[in-house]
Amino acid sequence: MRANRSILLAGLVLSLVATVAPQAAAAPATCVTDGRMKAVTCADAAAATTEGYGWVWANDPAHVVGEWYSPSAPYQYSSATGGPANLVRHVGVGTYTVFVEGMSATAGITHVTAYGYDNRTRCKNTVTTPTVDGQYLTVRCYTFGGALVDSTFTASFTNLRSSYYGFGYRATNNGTVTAHNSTTNAVVHAREVLGQYKVSFKALGGNAGGTVLVTATGQTNTWCKTADWYPDTIYHHVLVRCFTPTGAPADGDFNVTFVDKGNVVGDKNPSPGLVSAYGWISTVPSAPTTWAYPLPTWTITTPMPGTRALTPSLLLTGGDFQVTAYDTTSDSCAIAYWTGVTATVQCYTAAGAPVNAPFDIAYVGEHD
């Protein structure tokens, strides 16, 4: 469906949890919010239910196996605690558990992106385990040949079910599906052919725009990306393609998020405590405005083949980046690094050669 984009442009295993995580705070007597939609907590007979979001930059890929560590504070956040309370554990080669504190047992969606300069690695979310204390996100990272490998990565989680703007997601977690649509309408999933899927968000159609994140899930080494997204009069459709490590089409499970003029965790936009931006990066020196938010748009330079330096219209103070490769090929992308001003993304063919592939990028950062 790349023609849709061309036309529009022309018109414009469960993770191990033997180590006990921090205990959740006692539930209040009634539902309360902090006023910024950072966390909503409701009491019931058993435990608190918290909707919120969090992220980490897992910056110590070779940490002692079996031991929890606290990742870099400026690059991690839990809306339930209002600060850096998350943990990461190195389970084994290429396998990690991320603990996002305070999200309780409410299911949501996880996204993961491999991180590092010249890092030919893909990472995925094998499973997300909700508990009364928080969410355990299991992450596995693979070489382009399909072998497990230790890697730095970024990961984000949200279980917000907000309706401030066009916002929807569909997560597949060990065979269990969690879906949200800000219009309260259906989220429809269809397998088209081997390795190709369409996810459609009802009542979010009508206008082109927004952005998409896709993260592979499950126990295999398949990986996934978006091939396109476009509206009709009723639905906003997201096309997803999944591949083997070497680039052959393959069936696979995945998580997918669509957002239009908002942020990928579903918080208020603008929010007093959250800054965010997204863009669709193609081959032009700035992100097309229809698929970038907020404006002014991102500026783009290409210092070398396969490497893009992106400057959005806001400061990048800590926070989290997620990247999803875009188009019908088996090219994939990762976040190389970011500074306070610029984010650098690198893309590769399935064989590992640098390539100027298009991609989607989304940023969230906590500013108080």
Burial state string for 256-291 with b = 16 or more CB within 10 A and e = fewer than 16: bbbbbbbbbbbbbbebebbbbbbbbbbeeebbbebb
At 230-274, the pLDDT tens digits run: 999 999 999 999 999 999 999 999 999 999 999 999 998 777 778
Q: Beta partners for 87?
A: 99
In DSSP notation, 275-327 reads EEEEEEE-SSSB--GGGEESSS--EEEEEETTEEEEE-SS---S-EEEEEEBS
Please tell me the predicted confidence (pLDDT) of residue 368: 55
First to last CA, the chain: 41
- Say what the pTM is: 0.88
Mean pLDDT of 138-156: 99
Please tell me the predicted confidence (pLDDT) of residue 367: 58
Give the Cα separation of 202 and 233 in Å (integer).
10
When the pLDDT of each residue in the chain is averaged and rounded to a whole number, the result is 87
At 314-334, the pLDDT tens digits run: 889 899 999 999 999 999 999
Q: Whose structure tokens read 């023609």?
A: 3
At 85-105, the pLDDT tens digits run: 999 999 999 999 999 998 878
At 20-68, the pLDDT tens digits run: 343 333 332 233 333 333 333 333 333 445 789 999 999 999 999 999 9
Of 350, 342, 354, 335, which Cα lies nearest the Cα of 57? 335
**What are the residue boundaries of the structural domains of the chain, listed by start?**
2-12+163-260, 32-158, 275-366
Mean pLDDT of 206-214: 97
Per-residue tokens: 35 = 């006023």
Q: Is the pLDDT of residue 342 over 50?
A: yes
**Element (DSSP H or E) covering residue 168:** strand 166-173
Q: What percent of the chain has pLDDT over 90?
A: 75
